[in-house]
Amino acid sequence: MTATYVPGELATLVTEGGVVLAPADRLTEVAALAGSAPETWAAALAALPEVAVLHRDGDALAILVRGGYVVRVGGLSIDGRAAASGTATSTPLVTAVAVEVGPLAGGAAAPVLPIGTGVVRSAGVRWCPLGEPPAPAPAAPEHTVVRGAAGPVPTGPPPGWTPAEPSTDHDGRTITPAQLQAIRASATSTPPSSPPSGLPSSPPPPPAPAAPVPPTPPPVRPLVALRLSTGRVVPVRRRVLVGRSPRVQQVGGSANLPALVTVDDPYVSGTHLEVSSDGVRVTATDTSTNGTLLTRPGQIPVPLDRGVPTEIATGDVLTLSKGITATIVPARETEG
C-alpha cells in the first residue's frame, strides 16, 4: 500500500484496509475508527451528511460517498451529491490502481506528503491499496507536417558500386572503404560529358509538377469565448488547449492549429482541457490527471468524463483547479 495526502482541514484516516474523509469537526470520531475493522466504518459514520468511506472487501473496493466529496478510481468517478442519501458501490481491484478522494472543488495549492497508517487533517488523499500503478508508456513524439513538392528519391546504387562478398557480418550490400574512395574520386575528377562537335545539346527535361496544395478552409467565426479567471478572454474558433504547458498531439494542416493557452498553476495538468467548435456546437474534453468540473447555471458541479467531449453553452463554468476557471461567454466579448 502507498498513500499521499494534501494538507488541509478534513478529518482523515488512512490504513492498509481503507480511507475515511469527514468534516473537520469529526476528527475524534474518525480517530476512534483506527483500531476497528474497515467494514464497520460505514455503519459507524452513517449519520454524517458528508463523508467518504473506502475499504477493501477481498478483491473489490467498497465505496460510500455522500455530500460534497468525489471518489475517482480507474475510469470511474463517483459524485457524493448524485443522490440525496449518497452513493454506495463496489468495484474490482484486479490490478494496482490509484484511488483519489477529496472535496468536489479541489484543494488549495499545497505540497503532497506521504503517509503510512494514521490520522491527519487533509484536503484529499491518493491511496493505492495494491501499490503504485505502473507508469504510462511515453507518448509518441510530436511531428510537424510540411506540405509541398518532394524531390526524387534515389532507387539504385551509386555509380561504380559493386556488391561486396557476402559474409556473416553484413548483408552483401556493403561497400568497402576503398570502393567509397574510388566513387568520391570519380565524382570529383570526371568532367561532365558534352555532345559531339556540331550537334545540338539535348534540352533539359521539364520540371516535375509541384504537388497540389490543399485549399485552405475558410475561417470559422467563433460562437463563444473562454473568459479565464486570469483575466484573459480567448475566442474558440476551432480548438483551444488550456494547461500548464499545452502541447499539440495532432495537427492535420496549419489551418487546424489550436490556440494554446498557458496558465500558471501546479494543480493544472500540462494539457488539461480542450474546447472545440465546429461552427454549430461547442464541446469541452477533460485531458487532465486531476479532473475538470462543469458547473451549469443553477446546478451543482459535476466532473467531466476524461477523454469524452461534452457539449457546453454560454454561462457554463469549467473549473480546472481552485484558482483557475474558464467561463463560456459570447464571442462578442472579444470584439472591438
User: Domain range for residue 246?
Assistant: 224-334
Task: Identify whether 151 is part of a domain.
Answer: no
Task: Identify whether 191 is part of a domain.
Answer: no
**Phi, psi for 224 (deg, rounded to 5):** -135, 175
Give dist(CA 118, CA 13) in Å, integer.
Answer: 6
Torsion over CA: 148, 151, 152, 154 (sign): negative
* Residue 111: partners with Cβ closer than 8 Å, 6 or more residues away: 6, 7
Nearest to 253 by CA among 157, 145, 151: 145
Considering its fold, how many domains does the chain have in total? 2
Task: Identify whether 182 is part of a domain.
Answer: no
- What integer pLDDT is reported at residue 199 of this predicted model? 54
When pLDDT is cut at 50, 70 and 90, the band that residue 237 belongs to is confident
6 with 124, same domain: the answer is yes
7 with 116, same domain: the answer is yes
Task: Identify whether 273 is part of a domain.
Answer: yes
Interval 309-329: pLDDT, tens: 999 999 999 999 988 999 999
Task: Identify whether 233 is part of a domain.
Answer: yes
Task: Identify whether 67 is part of a domain.
Answer: yes
Cell of 165: 562478398
Last residue of a domain, one of 88, 107, 128: 128
Q: pTM for this structure?
A: 0.43
CATH of the domain at 269: 2.60.200.20
Contact 229, 325 (CB under 8 A): yes
Task: Identify whether 214 is part of a domain.
Answer: no
Checking if the pLDDT of 208 tops 90, the result is no
For all residues of the chain together, what is the average pLDDT?
Answer: 78
When pLDDT is cut at 50, 70 and 90, the band that residue 102 belongs to is confident
As separate numbers, helices (DSSP H) first and strands (DSSP E) second, the chain gives 3, 21
Report the pLDDT averaged over residues 200-213: 68
Ramachandran bin of 16, using left for φ above 0, alpha for ψ from -120 to 50, beta for the remaining angles: alpha
**Percentage of residues of the chain with pLDDT beyond 70:** 69
Checking if the pLDDT of 107 tops 90, the result is no
Cell of 140: 509518441
Task: Identify whether 110 is part of a domain.
Answer: yes
- What integer pLDDT is reported at residue 138 of this predicted model? 59
Last residue of a domain, one of 113, 128, 143: 128
Tell me which range, 66-70, 93-97, 142-146, 284-288, is most confidently predicted by mean pLDDT. 284-288
Interval 47-58: pLDDT, tens: 888 999 999 888
Beta bridge partners of 30: none
Contact 50, 38 (CB under 8 A): no
- What integer pLDDT is reported at residue 148 of this predicted model? 46
Beta bridge partners of 283: 276, 311
Report the pLDDT averaged over residues 156-165: 50
Q: Three-class SS string for 29-96? A: HHHHHHHCCHHHHHHHCCCCCCEEEEEEECCEEEEEEECCEEEEECCEEEECCCCCCCEEEEEECCCC
Checking if the pLDDT of 106 tops 70, the result is no
- What integer pLDDT is reported at residue 319 of this predicted model? 95
Last residue of a domain, one of 89, 109, 128: 128
Checking if the pLDDT of 35 tops 80, the result is yes
When pLDDT is cut at 50, 70 and 90, the band that residue 226 belongs to is very high
- What integer pLDDT is reported at residue 2 of this predicted model? 87
